[in-house]
């Protein structure tokens, strides 16, 4: 019962700030249709309930599966088995990620089906799976993380030269969306088992971080390659909620149940099959232990279904509406300020951010305080959303104008900070892009792009998640630099490569 209450509080504090902000905006600068507001409140309840149930399922079913699988792979002591397992597990864990599902549905909606949601899911999941396997190799062969990331991002920006503006935004957004509330704990639990395969049998602190960062680069590269080898370069963008009856409150929730029932089932089914197959071959769990894992899968399926219904039938429509309304105001300062506030309240409320900040404080022995990390992250993500709004309002500003200098800073700083912070910083990008970013704020930006004359919905409506994923890297690398300076002055600096 304590676990349920704890998860409910975590999720409630994620959604509550957004909900209160929407109500304040409704009574001030952005009045919203009453039917839409009621649907939003119902959708918010579904999002809280769905995420709570889903996260409990992840904790008792999916994360233990990752740990068991990692340990089994370590016992096998065979490299080819590890690589094949990385490919299979990476693909199926990515395709079940709620944040990626939301992004894929939005891409499908905005392009009027020209880029199907299922194609985004499959392509991104293949990319993540390949890079997850390569991430395993990095751990096994002790290749420094900063060298791997430097090479991967050189490849990414090389591919980006040949990519269209539309796919550039979607590719970096996919990276942030795929490393969410399902993929991150599963990948981290896998890495614990994989580190036991190391020949020196010494799993260093540095191997606790970085696998998520490497895996997420696969999402970027796969979408860029899809664009380069795709014949379709022109898209007719549109934005419609896709809900049949705009005057009904309950009907939209009922209408989409069959679609998302199948989507949720297909997302969880592959992981369930993996569990049952490995139980037969390797795990050999007792009936009570197996029943607990199966219960976790049932929770994950139920929670995912409720979450997707709440998001798509009530939650995102209001984000789109507010973005629309604010973009039409004469005073554009409102939408920039509100974008900043949305970024701040979202990151402060993300449950995974609290875990990360405590972890950083522990690893640095209290030199870097979690409060300092939290404030820095909040300001950074606030600016990320505000800059995304400015990109909508000023069409001359393109996404690469932000990403290129941003990642040059990220990659340059890797050479001057403790290498532990490299993994922490790049993993933080995945942590920052949680369920609220992938849903409400994405809809908010797309609503603004749809309403503002001169903005391109396909180009300017995406890219915000990419910005939110980038700013924590810079912020935490800066903190790593501070930590290095503090360590040197206190005489506790130790050499690492």
Residues 77-90: tens digit of each pLDDT: 777 887 888 888 88
Those residues with Cβ within 8 angstroms of residue 234's Cβ, 6 or more apart along the chain or in another chain? none
Q: Where are the beta strands (DSSP E) in 117-216?
A: none
Angle (CA) 475 356 417, round 5°? 40
For residue 497, being part of any structural domain is answered with no
For residue 265, being part of any structural domain is answered with yes
Question: Taking the chain (497 residues) in consecutive chunks of 10 residues, what is each chunk's mean pLDDT?
Answer: 81 85 90 90 91 88 82 75 84 84 84 83 92 85 87 93 87 85 74 63 55 89 89 56 58 87 84 87 88 93 90 84 89 92 80 67 72 83 92 90 93 87 80 76 89 82 89 86 77 49
Cα–Cα distance between 433 and 180 in angstroms, integer? 7
For residue 329, being part of any structural domain is answered with yes
For residue 80, being part of any structural domain is answered with yes
Cα–Cα distance between 438 and 457 in angstroms, integer? 17
What separation in angstroms does the CA of 15 have from each of 346, 400, 440? 8, 31, 10
For residue 320, being part of any structural domain is answered with yes
For residue 286, being part of any structural domain is answered with yes
DSSP secondary structure, 252-292, as one string: HHHHTHHHHHHHHHHHHHHHHHHHHHHIIIII---HHHHHH
- Taking only the tens place, the pLDDT of each residue in 201-253 is 444 445 557 888 898 899 999 999 988 887 555 555 555 544 444 567 888 88
Q: Are 217 and 241 in contact (CB under 8 A)?
A: no
**Whose structure tokens read 């995912």?**
304
Provide the pLDDT for residue 295: 94
For residue 496, being part of any structural domain is answered with no
Cα–Cα distance between 347 and 316 in angstroms, integer? 18
Domains in the chain: how many in total? Answer: 1
What is the signed CA dihedral for 278, 282, 283, 287, rounded to 10 degrees? 80
For residue 239, being part of any structural domain is answered with no
Provide the pLDDT for residue 197: 62
Cα–Cα distance between 252 and 314 in angstroms, integer? 8
The verdict on pTM exceeding 0.95 is no
Provide the pLDDT for residue 495: 45
Q: What is the domain extent for residue 467?
A: 6-232+244-489
Cα–Cα distance between 429 and 469 in angstroms, integer? 4
Q: Which stretches within 368-436 are classed as H helix?
A: 370-393, 399-413, 419-432, 435-436
């Amino acid at each position: 019962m304590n676990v349920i209450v704890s998860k409910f509080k975590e999720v409630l504090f994620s959604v509550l700030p957004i909900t209160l902000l929407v109500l304040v905006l409704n009574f001030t600068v952005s009045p919203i249709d009453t039917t839409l507001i009621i649907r939003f409140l119902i959708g918010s309840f579904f999002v809280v309930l769905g995420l709570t149930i889903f996260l409990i399922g992840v904790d008792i079913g999916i994360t233990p599966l990752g740990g068991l699988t990692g340990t089994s792979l370590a016992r096998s002591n065979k490299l080819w088995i590890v690589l094949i397992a990385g490919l299979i597990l990476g693909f199926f864990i990515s395709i079940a990620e709620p944040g990626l599902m939301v992004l894929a549905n939005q891409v499908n909606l905005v392009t009027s089906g020209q880029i199907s949601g299922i194609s985004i899911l499959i392509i991104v999941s293949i990319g993540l799976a390949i890079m997850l396997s390569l991430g395993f190799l990095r751990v096994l062969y002790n290749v420094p993380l900063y060298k791997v990331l430097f090479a991967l991002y050189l490849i990414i920006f090389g591919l980006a030269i040949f990519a269209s503006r539309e796919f550039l935004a979607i590719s970096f957004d996919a990276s942030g969306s795929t490393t969410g509330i399902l993929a991150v704990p599963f990948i981290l639990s896998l890495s614990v088992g994989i580190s036991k395969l190391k020949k020196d049998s010494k799993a260093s602190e540095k191997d606790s971080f970085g696998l998520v960062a490497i895996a997420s680069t696969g999402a970027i590269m796969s979408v860029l390659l899809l664009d380069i080898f795709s014949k379709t370069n022109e898209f007719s963008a549109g934005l419609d909620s896709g809900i049949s009856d705009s005057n009904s409150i309950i009907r939209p929730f009922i209408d989409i149940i069959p679609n998302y029932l199948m989507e949720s089932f297909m997302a969880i089914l592959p992981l369930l099959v993996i569990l049952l197959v490995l139980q037969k071959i390797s795990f050999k769990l007792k009936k009570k232990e197996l029943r607990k894992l199966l219960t976790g899968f049932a929770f994950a399926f139920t929670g995912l279904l409720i979450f997707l219904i709440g998001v798509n039938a009530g939650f995102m429509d209001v984000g789109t509406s507010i973005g629309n309304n604010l973009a039409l105001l004469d005073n554009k300062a409102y939408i920039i300020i509100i974008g900043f506030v949305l970024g701040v309240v979202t990151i402060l409320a993300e449950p995974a951010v609290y875990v990360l900040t405590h972890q950083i404080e522990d690893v640095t022995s209290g030199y870097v305080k979690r409060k300092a990390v939290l404030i820095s992250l909040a300001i950074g993500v606030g600016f990320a959303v505000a800059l995304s709004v400015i990109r909508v309002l000023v069409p001359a500003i393109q996404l690469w104008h932000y990403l290129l200098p941003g990642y040059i800073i990220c990659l340059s700083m890797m050479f001057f900070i403790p290498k532990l912070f490299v993994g922490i910083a790049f993993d933080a990008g995945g942590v920052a892009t949680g369920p609220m970013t992938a849903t409400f704020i994405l809809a908010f930006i797309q609503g603004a792009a749809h309403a503002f004359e001169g903005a391109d919905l396909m180009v300017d409506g995406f890219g915000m998640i990419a910005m939110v994923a980038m700013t924590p890297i810079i912020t935490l690398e800066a903190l790593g630099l501070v930590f290095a300076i503090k360590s040197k002055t206190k005489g506790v600096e130790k050499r690492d490569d």
